[in-house]
Amino acid sequence: MSERWRRELRRLEEATPTEGLLERARLGPTSTVPDRRTASPAVVVIVAFSLFAAAGALTWNAFGPRIGGTTDGVGSASRMSATLHGVSLEYPASWTLVDLWPLAGDIASWPEPGSVIDVPKDTPEHGGLPVLQLSNRDLGLGSACGAELNGGEAVLYVAASGGPYLIDAEGHPRWPATLTRADGPCGPGWYAYRESWLDTGNGSGEARPYLVYAGFGPDVPDADRDEVFAAFSTLSFSPENDFLYPPAESSPGYVQGTLEDQTSDTYVFSDVRIEEYPYRERSGDIRG
């Protein structure tokens, strides 16, 4: 180890934990930061609203554009990159990326905490297991799959799937790997069917199919439509580890990617608490 950065990094080993941390832990939890999705939607809305109200006008100004859905990704100079549950993509900085994986917990089942996902047979009706959703407007934390998109809304939706429903009677993928116009489980739009390979070691592996849906409102600007396809072109899926598991340590939330010239921060860093962000649930036609 000759590089200075490595030598300096080793100095972290000289730092020692403060004494008594375990004894302090034995006194019980104290933080209000939840480690899993514990709050009911109603409680979350109340907490979010309260925090939002308390934040005042400055916060409103800071967050308002995201809530109001008036952001315009067209021509945005900065772009974000993020990796969420193995799905990586780039998108305009002004767009909204939402971690939908907790919604998968409403569809799929896991035999016990920490166990591998057990995709139910009726998954097809739900358009796969929601993983993430990118949109030019803030559509809240619900899935737009199956919802009617309004006005200029543009959405890119990614779902991990159980696979079989995406195969036709002849065993062929129902949709090609590129976005193609079709009427699918999320409604009329554009669909792509893909598979990633999960190396399970010893030269073996498993195919992990996933579904991509692009949906547009009737008045979507061409530029926003192009941005959806551009984001799709950057999309990749490395289905390792966490996407298989229930959102036991997570919660639904907005994702903060980072500027392209820095890094893509994932899961832990991007697990923005919904209590810390004002948001709105879209009523009616959004289904989880």
Partner 1 sequence: VSDEERDFDAIWRDIGPTLWRAVLAYSGGRRDVADDAVAEAFARAIERDRQIREPRAYLYRVAFRIAAAELRRDGAAPERDVPLEDEHPLADLAPALRRLSPSQRAAVYLHYVADLPVRELASLMGTSSAAVRVHLMRGRRRLAELLGEDQPDE
Question: Where do contacts with partner 1 occur on this chain (CB under 8 A)?
Answer: 3-6, 8-18, 21-22, 24-31, 33, 35, 83, 85-86, 88, 112-115, 236, 238-243, 249-250, 258, 262-269, 271-273, 276
Amino acid at 113: P
Residue closer to partner 1, measured from CB, 59 or 150: 59
Q: Which is nearer to partner 1, 234 or 241 (CB)?
A: 241
- Give the shortest CB-188-to-partner 1 separation in angstroms: 32
* Closer Cβ to partner 1, 195 or 242, answer by number: 242
Residues whose CB falls within 8 Å of the CB of residue 173, separated by 6 or more in sequence, listed in order: 166, 167, 193
DSSP string, 106-151: TTSB-SSTTPPPB--TTGGGGTSEEEEEEESS--TTS--TTSPP-T
Q: Please, which residue, 136 or 264, has the CB nearer to partner 1?
A: 264
Closest CA to 223 of 152, 160, 271: 152
Instruction: Give the shortest CB-38-to-partner 1 separation in angstroms.
Output: 11
* Smallest separation (angstroms) from partner 1 to the CB of 83: 4
Least distance in Å: CB of 221 to partner 1? 32
Residue 31 main-chain phi, psi, to 5 deg: -70, 150
Torsions phi, psi for 193 (to 5 deg): -115, 130
CB of 209 to partner 1, least distance (A): 17
Between CA 236 and CA 131 the distance in angstroms is: 13
CB 64, min distance to partner 1, A: 19
Gap between the Cα atoms of 180 and 168, Å rounded: 16
Both tokens of 125, joined, read 């009706």
Cβ distance to partner 1 smaller for residue 36 or 181: 36
81 or 135: CB nearest partner 1: 81
Element (H, E) at 269: helix 267-270
